[in-house]
Amino acid sequence: PEVVMIGLGYIGLPTAALIAQNKTQVHGVDINPKVVSTINAGQIHIIEPDLDKAVATAVKEGFLRASTTPVEANTYLIVVPTPFKGKNEPDISFVESATKAIIPLLKPNDLYIIESTSPVGTTEKMMNLIYSERPELDQKLYMAYCPERVLPGNVMYELVHNDRVIGGVNNESTERAIDFYAQFIKGDLHRTNARTAEMCKLVENSSRDVQIAFANELSLICDKADINVWDLINLANKHPRVNILQPGCGVGGHCIAVDPYFIVSDYPMESQIIGKAREVNNYKSFWCAEKVQTAKLEFELKNGRKPSIALMGLAFKPNIDDLRESPAKYIAQKVLQNANNEEYYIVEPNIDSHKVFKLTDYKEAYNKADIIVFLVAHNEFTALKLSNDKVILDFCGIIQKIK
């Protein structure tokens, strides 16, 4: 094959399919044998619009194959997870083991690219690792960092059309990587060095996290000040140079709530705002759970009986089925931990069933419950008719959309 793609997850598999669509031979590698056999059967193990067709075609036409071990190629892409170990310490061991797996296969003029979100300096670190084990290759490889920036749910479009930032360990590497991506990307390709490209990815997601933290902080202030935060933000955004994001029940997903820690852990003294934003966004989820608790007690005091409660939405953002790192799920768990013989209805219209939560249809839950807690602004919920006899806790601005 021309290309070896290590890691066939949410980014690796769509990218592999895209390269294969271009009639380039791609060999995908994943440590999970089930993932490998699924892909070789022309099927997919993740949910992403249009990915199924792309993989099925690529496999059928013979441009995409997968296995659990890498093979020799000219270009190697590392697209594996970079999770956290202990307390907010980035863990690059998957990047390291993926790199080690291909070291014996490397030959002069090969192109090595990391796409995984990584702490600053990771590409240089991997370069040193490779050259220490294969000194005869010293300076003979092209190495670059090129982060992905696609939005889950719109990956197949954004992969092709988003601009990319491409940073080599030297200018020749940057140019080689640009030539590679130019084959299948329509967005602009921007040249830089590896360290800047690494930081760029972290900064993009930290920027969004800080902006959401600002909105979440406003929501806490407005709650005390008896002001509708959604109206307030809408009005403030009428200013030509103000663009405040939306408060919610916290920040979730695998990127925005994680990437800022890559900066904070390496530059703790300097990253005051970035670190604080994470705290504010985490606190927002805790605050929401506490609000539910208070509403329960108030209801019981007023009505002399326990309320029934509907928790509306579990996904990490509107109109997706992804529950990983979801603040709504965290709030639901916390609320259920505090349960005291109340009746609960848990709602997530984007999934059929869940192994922990017993799910209820959203209309039924809404009609039956005394307290309605809107956690995620799913489109379905906007069709509900608000009635005055219910206590409504709106943590995601859905009321504005229902009105």
- Give me the residues that bind ligand SAJ (CB under 6 A), please: 148-152, 204-205, 208, 212, 245-246, 248, 251-253, 255-256, 316-317
Element (H, E) at 124: helix 122-133
Shortest distance (Å) from residue 65 CB to ligand SAJ: 26
Q: What is the SS3 assignment for 203?
A: helix
Q: How far apart are CA 80 and CA 11, in angstroms?
A: 9
In 111-185, the DSSP E strands lie at: 111-114, 142-145, 164-168
Q: Which two tokens stand for residue 296?
A: 């329960």
158: exposed, middle or buried (Cβ count in 10 Å: 0-12, 13-18, 19+) = middle
Q: How far apart are CA 28 and CA 7, in angstroms?
A: 7
Tell me which of 146, 249, 255, 288 is the catalytic residue.
255
146 is annotated as an active-site residue: no
149: exposed, middle or buried (Cβ count in 10 Å: 0-12, 13-18, 19+) = middle
Q: What is the DSSP string of 329-382?
A: HHHHHHHHHT--S-EEEEE-TT-S--SSSPB--HHHHHHH-SEEEE-S--GGGG
255 is annotated as an active-site residue: yes
**CB atoms near residue 110 (< 10 Å):** 20
Nearest to 255 by CA among 285, 288, 278, 286: 278
Q: Which two tokens stand for residue 62?
A: 């013979």
Q: How far apart are CA 306 and CA 346, in angstroms?
A: 17
Tell me which of 34, 186, 200, 201 is the catalytic residue.
201
Element (H, E) at 78: strand 75-78
In the complex with ligand SAJ, which residue's Cβ is closer, 3 or 280? 280
In the complex with ligand SAJ, which residue's Cβ is closer, 37 or 282? 282
Q: 26 vs 10, 59, 288, 325, CA distance in Å? A: 17, 10, 46, 31
Residues involved in catalysis: 201, 255
